[in-house]
Amino acid sequence: MTMRADAPALLTESASSVWTTRLARLVPPVFTFAALAFLFIPIFVLIAYSFNASRSTVVWQGLTLDWYAAVLDDRRLRQAVMNSAFVALFAGAFSAAIGTLTALAIVRRQFPGKEMLSTALLAPIVLPEIVIAVALLVFMVALKAPLGFTSMIIGHVLVTLPFATLIMRTAAVALDPRLEEAAADLGANEWQTFLRVTLPALAPAILSAFLMAATLSFDNFVMSTFVTGVGSTTLPIYIYAQLKTGLTPQINALGTLLVIANMTVLIAVIGYQFRLRARRQRLSQ
């Protein structure tokens, strides 16, 4: 009797527990989706307001393309974008180059102080950037070196090198040492092995390291604000300086153009890696 009385209760309980499990299973995707939406919605808002006819970045007043004209028309803004691109290109290249050589040294060679070097390379990630920036500024001043593009590129290499090195270390670890041994067996000297075997095998990782470093450099504000000099005002510094007179949708228009530029690079890189993989597959067949 008691059993029978209990049975339906048990049934509903297990049914409800099925529902709870199902609901529970829904939580991670819903939560993930909400979090991603939260991250991406501002970008869509940014793009939408770049077409705003009002000069406010919060009050909607109608459609216009004027802000895009304003971006193209603004010589200081164009100069700042050029400066940012210039610094990012060189900082990215130096970071990728130094990062590659450092990673190969740490992964392939034995030398005293190796552990210390690989730990020290992480220091710029752990230390607040502002501390490194002040240190570099003081150092440049002590050397009586003028501030400008050179100090900007040095500063950005300092900030981006740990990331480039991390990427290159992962790639170097994954690189089969037998490839290099085989090259040496076939009579290649160390230089030829590096140029013809190691470097091509690491090329995709080097490209990633370069893009990572260049992107970080393009966005950099803290280091830049300390070590910038005559004529080297980059985009983040310029935008921040504009806060005094108020931002206009011109910044949104510029942001939209940058998003498009980033997407183009991203798609190009993915396409390149896709082609590379296809070619390798063809070669291995």
Partner 1 sequence: MSSFVSWGRRSVLLGAVAFGLVFGLAVSGPAHAAGELHIYAWSGELPQEIVDDFEKETGITVTFDTFDSNETMMAKLEAGATGYDIVNPSQYAVQILAKKGLIEELEHGKIANIGNISEEFRNVSYDSGNKYQIPYLSGSTGLAYNTDCVKEEVTSWKSLWDEKYKGRIYMLDNMLAAYIAGLQVNGFRASSTNEAEIAKATESLIAQKPLLAGYNSTNFADLVSSGEACLVEAWSGTVIQVMAENPKVRYVLPQEGGTMWVDGFSVAKGAANRDNAYIFIDYLLKPEVAAKVTKLSKIATCVGKSRELLPPEIANNPAIFLPKEQVAKADFILDAGDAMKFYQDGWTKVKTAQ
The residue ranges that bind partner 1 (CB under 8 A) are 54-59, 74-76, 90, 97, 137-138, 140-141, 144-150, 189-191, 225, 228-233, 237-238, 240-247
Residues pairing with 63 in the sheet: 52
CB of 114 to partner 1, least distance (A): 17
CB of 226 to partner 1, least distance (A): 8
Whose Cβ is closer to partner 1: residue 16's or residue 192's?
192
Q: Classify each residue of 170-196 as buried b or exposed e, where b means 16 or more C-beta atoms within 10 Å of its C-beta.
A: ebbeebeeeebeebeeeebeeeebbee
Whose Cβ is closer to partner 1: residue 140's or residue 265's?
140
CB of 222 to partner 1, least distance (A): 12
Whose Cβ is closer to partner 1: residue 15's or residue 130's?
130
Whose Cβ is closer to partner 1: residue 228's or residue 256's?
228
CB of 284 to partner 1, least distance (A): 31
Cα-to-chain-centroid distance, residue 210: 9
Whose Cβ is closer to partner 1: residue 189's or residue 273's?
189
What contacts 193, CB < 8 A, 6 or more positions away?
180, 183, 184
HEC profile of 242-269? HHHHCCCHHHHHHHHHHHHHHHHHHHHH
Whose Cβ is closer to partner 1: residue 117's or residue 269's?
117
Secondary structure letter of residue 127 according to DSSP: S
Cβ–Cβ under 8 Å, residues 218 and 91: no
Whose Cβ is closer to partner 1: residue 97's or residue 258's?
97
CB of 119 to partner 1, least distance (A): 23
Six-digit token string for 186: 């076939």
CB of 115 to partner 1, least distance (A): 22
Residues pairing with 52 in the sheet: 63
Q: How many residues does the structure list for the chain? A: 285
Whose Cβ is closer to partner 1: residue 215's or residue 242's?
242
Six-digit token string for 65: 């393309």
CB of 281 to partner 1, least distance (A): 33
Cβ–Cβ under 8 Å, residues 51 and 64: yes
Residues pairing with 212 in the sheet: none
Give the DSSP H/E element, type plus range, for residue 238: helix 235-242
Cβ–Cβ under 8 Å, residues 179 and 192: no
CB of 104 to partner 1, least distance (A): 11
What's the rounded Cα separation, in Å, for the pair 260 and 253?
Answer: 11
